[in-house]
Amino acid sequence: MYTLKPPAKWPLLAKTISGLEPVLAKELESLGAADVKVLKRAVSFTGDQILLFKANYCCRTALRILKPLFEFPINEQQDLYNNIHNYPWEDLLTPDSSLSIDAVISYTVFTNSQFVAQKSKDAIVDRFRSKFDKRPSVDLENPDMRINVHLFKNLCTVSLDSSGQSLHKRGYRRSTGPAPINEVLAAGLVQLSGWDYTTPMFDPMCGSGTLLIEAAMLAKSIPCGYFRKEFGFMRWKDFDRDLWLQVKAGADDRISPLRLQLFGSDRAERAIVSAKENLAFTGLSDDVHLQTCSFEDSEPPVENGFILCNPPYDERIRIDDTIAFNKLIGDTLKRKFKGYTAWFISSDLESIKFIGLKPSRKIVVFNGPLECRFVKFELY
Ligand SMILES: C[S@@+](CC[C@H](N)C(=O)[O-])C[C@H]1O[C@@H](n2cnc3c(N)ncnc32)[C@H](O)[C@@H]1O
C-alpha cells in the first residue's frame, strides 16, 4: 500500500550535479527550506507550495524539484505495476492529459530502467482505460505531467516532477558553441569559487558566455528562472496561479541594477558572436565587455581581477597537444596575471598539472559523466 504525504508541508527533493550538493543545500536553506539533508546528487528538504515555486524559480544549482507522492516496498516485479495501478491518478490527470515517466533504479529486482518506465506507464494508462475507456497519451518532450519513479533496493518512490524540463534550461540561450557548459554547473562553479560579486571577473575562453551570464545573474539577484516561460507545476490541476505570481514578483523585486565589470574573450569569433547574442537577450550587454582574442595574446582587463574559466578539455573540442596547451595557460597566467585569483575546471586530470602552478584548492565536480577538478590558483 502507498502512504499519502501530509498536504501542508511536503517532503521535497532537489536533484543536482555531483559535487554541487552543498551549494544547493545552502541555496535551499536561504529560501527557508527545513530539514535540509545532503544526499548523493540530491538534497532532500521539507516545504510548502510557496517553497516549491521558489525552489524552481530561484535555486541555481537544482536540476529538478521532485514532490514525492507515495512509496511502497518492492519484493517482486509485479509489485511495481500493482501499486502504481492502485494510486488514484484521476485526481491528478485526465484521460486527455499527456505524461512521461523517468525511471531511476539501483540495487533492485529490475535491471532495466526503460522497462520500469514502461511498466509504470502501463499501470497508469490501464487504470484510465478501465475507468474511462480512454487513456492519457505519452509525450516524452512536453508532457502535461512528468512522473519520476525511483527504485532503490526494495523501496519504490513515485514523485511528481514539478520542474518539467530540466532547470538548466534557463531560457536565455539563444545561440551556442560546440561545448557550452551546463548552466547549473556554471552557477555552481561561480558559487563554489567564492567570488565576492564585486571583483571584476574575466573568462578568457568564454565561448557562448554561460559563466559570465550566470555570474552576472547571481550578482544582480536575477532569478535563474527569470527567462523561462514554463515550469511543470503550471500544468498541474491544482496550480495556484495567483500564488505563483506573488512568489515570482517577490523574487523579481530583489533584482538589483548593480553595474558590473565582467570581461569575456575567446579566440573564436563565432563564440563571441554567440555570447553577444545571449547577453543581448538577457539585457546584460552593458555589464559584460567582450572581445575576440586568444588567452595568450590577451591583456588583463583590470588589476587584481578574478578569472573563472572553462577551457576545452573534452572530446567536443579537439586540442592537438593538451600538455602544450596547459603549459601555455600556465605561462600566460604567470607572465601577465599577477595579483589575480584564477579558477579553472578540467576533466583532463593529467594535463592540467602542466599549468605548472600549485593549486590552493581543488574541488571534485562532474560535468555530465566526466569527473573534473575545479582548481584555484593565487597569482601573487
Ligand atoms: C569549453 S569551451 C567554453 C564554453 C563556454 N563556457 C560556454 O558555456 O559556451 C572552450 C572555449 O575555449 C576557446 N579557446 C580554445 N583555446 C583558446 C585560447 N587559446 N584562447 C582563447 N580561447 C580559446 C574555444 O574557442 C571555446 O569557445
CATH of the domain at 355: 3.40.50.150
Task: Copy the grid coordinates of residue 261.
Answer: 565589470
315 — pLDDT class (breaks 50, 70, 90): low
Is residue 148 within 8 A of residue 160, CB to CB? The reply is yes
What whole-number percentage of the chain has pLDDT above 70?
A: 97
- pLDDT given at position 314: 60
What whole-number percentage of the chain has pLDDT above 90?
A: 89
3-state secondary structure of 278: helix
Ligand 1 centroid from CA 91, angstroms: 49
Find the CATH number of the domain harbouring 65.
3.30.2130.30
Are 215 and 357 in the same domain? yes
Are 265 and 316 in the same domain? yes
Q: Which atom in ligand 1 lies closest to the alpha carbon of residue 211? A: 6
The response to whether residue 352 sits with its C-beta less than 6 Å from ligand 1 reads no
Ligand 1 centroid from CA 24, angstroms: 27
Asked if residue 60 is part of any domain, the answer here is yes
Are 323 and 360 in the same domain? yes
Are 206 and 350 in the same domain? yes
Ligand 1 centroid from CA 361, angstroms: 23
Is residue 176 within 8 A of residue 274, CB to CB? The reply is yes
Are 20 and 148 in the same domain? yes
Asked if residue 4 has pLDDT above 80, the reply is no
Asked if residue 247 is part of any domain, the answer here is no
> Which residue puts its alpha carbon closest to atom 13 of ligand 1?
205
Ligand 1 centroid from CA 297, angstroms: 14
Ligand 1 centroid from CA 317, angstroms: 9
Are 312 and 188 in the same domain? yes
Are 54 and 188 in the same domain? no
2 — pLDDT class (breaks 50, 70, 90): low
Mutate to test the pocket of ligand 1, among 168, 185, 262, 266 (most ligand atoms within 8 A of CB): 266
Are 107 and 47 in the same domain? yes
Per-residue pLDDT tens digits for 8-54: 789 999 999 999 999 999 999 999 999 999 999 999 999 999 999 99
- Mean pLDDT confidence for 238-252: 97
Residue 136: domain span = 10-161
> Which residue puts its alpha carbon closest to atom 26 of ligand 1?
207
321 — pLDDT class (breaks 50, 70, 90): confident
Are 144 and 196 in the same domain? no
Are 154 and 187 in the same domain? no
What is the distance between the alpha carbons of residues 115 and 138, in angstroms, rounded to a whole number? 15
Closest CA to 159 of 252, 233, 238, 227: 233
Per-residue pLDDT tens digits for 114-157: 999 999 999 999 999 999 999 999 999 999 999 999 999 999 99
167-176, 299-308, 317-326, 348-357: which has the minimum mean pLDDT?
317-326
The response to whether residue 278 sits with its C-beta less than 6 Å from ligand 1 reads no
- Mean pLDDT confidence for 175-202: 94
What is the distance between the alpha carbons of residues 286 and 266, in angstroms, rounded to a whole number? 18
Q: In the chain, how many domains are there?
A: 2
Q: Which atom in ligand 1 lies closest to the alpha carbon of residue 314? A: 1
State the chain's mean pLDDT as an integer: 94
Per-residue pLDDT tens digits for 205-242: 999 999 999 999 999 999 999 999 999 999 999 999 99
Are 204 and 347 in the same domain? yes
